[in-house]
Structure 1
């Protein structure tokens, strides 16, 4: 493989400018883009950065498969090879710098624009944001990487240099986001055309929380950082989130219906004026911009299922864990299990009385129909019996057999609040006021009691018994509120939590005897579905000295031995 195909990005191949039409993207003629003639006007810059709004950069919830393969959501036909510990260097992912190359081409040429900087600083800010995004993806995947901030040639010595330590990369990502915040518009807008400074601040809080947690919880391991300074990143996460919170522009979506507001948020058709959704993908089939059909969840579960470990995380309505509350009625069936629980349980997981299909004439069919035919064949099988309801709108008029216009939420204010309170707690600075300004807002939406700092109920089943009660409850709140939104693996990785959540364990499901049809899946001694009993009989074999990061491929190391391999590989 030619080195330029790995770390350089052919400009002709990627110079997709996009004419904006109603906030959406179309391809710009490739032969019309050359540096000497293209980078002349602010609109040229706008057209160039439009390519980064492609949904490959904003995939969250597009297919309804967020968090699949983790400890909270699985497919019965696919066991996570990372969790199994069976990956090899031979199937290592590419060290892909194509996005970085493209962005650096922008930085090398935007100065040619013949206009005042104020006329185009928005697009420069967007470029800094997207470079930060590309590098954060590299950081999460490989840890240490090369920092390249200029366009390289075949003769560039940087092609053969060693990787920079991860904290240096993290600092440069944070710096890119600082510049993005400075240049991007502070206007809230409709939330789907262009990013603004608030999105950059949210992303900065995410990056800083990730790196701070990684440096704290991987300290003393092969993944640790020399001269680690987790507090510095936690402080940055707090500061970034605090700016958003102080702006007064955003709030938690709530209409006063705690039994439905959380679920409704993810099924809305438009987020232009939504107080919580900070950025979203608007679909338009006429322009070829669409989401994948969600009819699969209107017809068959296709083997997917939320795990019992996720279901057990929901508190009871009195704010106590299921092991401490008299409100918990057991596991005899899904209806009983959901009784007296945090309303997010039944707004995330289908219960038989939930609306499943609502016809145009208003006729309602409930999920009882699916429940009754579960396990009659492979397509009507669920790995766990807990089927995903979140991100599902039962109105059949909105769904199509192939493609539909169901929008995707990309960034929402709830994450800002959770990033803030976790970073404050990690700094040892969290107060009841901080909790009231964050977790209470999330719980108020669903009518749950607030978390009281001096009255946290000890949970015999805390996932992290060695950590403080506050950290445990903040992590629980994050798990519940952000479930199925593709945060889980990143959280496990930055917390170095494989020991507690993965190694030697395997996911389980609901009580098997409740279903009208006998599941064709293994069942454990306690009577719960145990879908991976045969695939991983001894539990997951995740290697904590290796599997938190991906390996570099043999091709990469052959072309540049100075890169070095990641720990354990």
Structure 2
């Protein structure tokens, strides 16, 4: 009896040890990954929001040791390079059918941010400075508007997607219907209005981040672009409701008062622009010798290493030697060439010092037999 009792006790102890070990093991394994941030643990603090939105800044600023964005005019009437541009070759300038502007990565990431953050923000669940938190929410609205504006410029009609979508073919197909471009731009302006309401006048990191005035300026450009597009393409296939408009198949009952839309967008542009122009003082141009003096604030602004002190600069990217972002960028083509140059047509579009065009009889144009004559001032 004693022996039996002894072995029973040992069995019980072994069983309890195994259960305790398994329980401890499960508890040890059931932890959040130490090397990754999980969705539940992210976007809960001011720092999380700041890092997420700055990571979505996809502006085409200059980078590297070349012309960068300053080469965008190559192949136009204004700027030329040694190689030819295919944009004027019939059949070579085509609307992409996938990738490029059809990429939804940025839109999805911003939709995810707004889905996750808005409920927490409204309920005061995001830790940190409340003013900065509100600002970063405004940045997300601005960045989504910016991304959609790129789509409209490249593709015209475009799907409006406000939330993240599941990997479901039926849902994705329904959401992928391209909406009339004027409705997309109205959606953009709505996002910008939200951004303008939420953004600070002075961003947390100064002028290297989006501000309220930067959003107002961008809104004026969006309105001007769309109002002008509708005005000068009215009645064509490039405008909703125009002859041959491809969207008629997806929107058979669509109707539009094109003149009202034109006025709406242009009025939105003028109102937003006025708010910036009335509030921002232009940098003084002392002119000095006319163009080349470091004592002229306006001249110095184009090559200064720190643009924070210039009132009319609303948003800029800090210079960085490792990235090739230096204060020489603005005159890189003039000093280094970059296999590009301004066309004669562009140069001749400029007026003489007296304001007259070069072909005016009393303009004082010295002629174009040499570069020195072309550069010679009148009067």
TM over 0.5: yes
Match of 1:330 in 2: 367
How is 1:156-175 mapped onto 2 (pairs within 5 angstroms)?
Answer: 157-161=170-174, 162-175=177-190
Matched, 1:216 2:231: yes
Q: CA deviation at 1:185?
A: 0.4
Matched, 1:35 2:39: yes
How is 1:270-285 mapped onto 2 (pairs within 5 angstroms)?
Answer: 270-285=306-321
How is 1:290-369 mapped onto 2 (pairs within 5 angstroms)?
Answer: 290-291=324-325, 297=333, 301-326=337-362, 327-340=364-377
- Cα distance between partner residues in 2 of 1:239 and 1:70: 32
Pair 33,70 (structure 1): closer, same or farther in 2 beyond 3 Å: farther
Q: 2:283 touches 2:311 (CA, 8 Å); kept in 1? A: yes
Match of 2:120 in 1: 112
Q: CA deviation at 1:78?
A: 2.9
- Cα distance between partner residues in 1 of 2:163 and 2:152: 18
Answer with 69-78 or 260-269: which moved more: 260-269
How is 1:248-267 mapped onto 2 (pairs within 5 angstroms)?
Answer: 249-257=280-288, 258-260=290-292, 264-267=300-303
Q: Give deviations 1:385-436, integer Å, cap 9, x for gaps.
A: xxxxxxxxxxxxxxxxxxxxxxxxxxxxxxxxxxxxxxxxxxxxxxxxxxxx
Pair 146,296 (structure 1): closer, same or farther in 2 beyond 3 Å: same
Match of 1:232 in 2: 264
Q: Give deviations 1:511-542, integer Å, cap 9, x for gaps.
A: xxxxxxxxxxxxxxxxxxxxxxxxxxxxxxxx
Matched, 1:130 2:147: no
Q: Give deviations 1:250-306, integer Å, cap 9, x for gaps.
A: 313524433235654322222110122211110334xx5442886975875353111
Matched, 1:96 2:103: yes
- Cα distance between partner residues in 2 of 1:341 and 1:145: 51
Match of 2:89 in 1: 84
- Cα distance between partner residues in 1 of 2:98 and 2:300: 37
When normalised by structure 2's length, the TM-score is 0.73
Q: CA deviation at 1:53?
A: 3.0
Q: CA deviation at 1:194?
A: 1.8
SS in 1 for 2:315: strand
Answer with 188-197 or 270-279: which moved more: 188-197
Question: Size of the alignment, in residue pairs?
Answer: 309
Q: 1:209 touches 1:237 (CA, 8 Å); kept in 2? A: yes
Pair 106,309 (structure 1): closer, same or farther in 2 beyond 3 Å: same
Pair 153,341 (structure 1): closer, same or farther in 2 beyond 3 Å: farther
Pair 300,51 (structure 1): closer, same or farther in 2 beyond 3 Å: closer
SS in 2 for 1:281: coil
- Cα distance between partner residues in 1 of 2:227 and 2:347: 29
Pair 190,69 (structure 1): closer, same or farther in 2 beyond 3 Å: farther
Match of 2:195 in 1: 180
SS in 2 for 1:74: strand
- Cα distance between partner residues in 1 of 2:182 and 2:95: 28
Q: CA deviation at 1:82?
A: 2.0
Pair 181,118 (structure 1): closer, same or farther in 2 beyond 3 Å: same
Higher relative contact order (CA 8 A, sep 6+): 1
Residue in structure 1 matching 2:167, options 154, 161, 167: 154
Pair 195,341 (structure 1): closer, same or farther in 2 beyond 3 Å: farther
Q: Once superposed, what is the RMSD of the aligned Cα atoms?
A: 3.0
- Cα distance between partner residues in 1 of 2:106 and 2:97: 19
When normalised by structure 1's length, the TM-score is 0.50
Q: 2:145 touches 2:191 (CA, 8 Å); kept in 1? A: yes
SS in 2 for 1:241: helix
Pair 291,142 (structure 1): closer, same or farther in 2 beyond 3 Å: same
Residue in structure 1 matching 2:78, options 72, 97, 114: 72
Which has the higher Rg, Structure 1 or Structure 2? 2
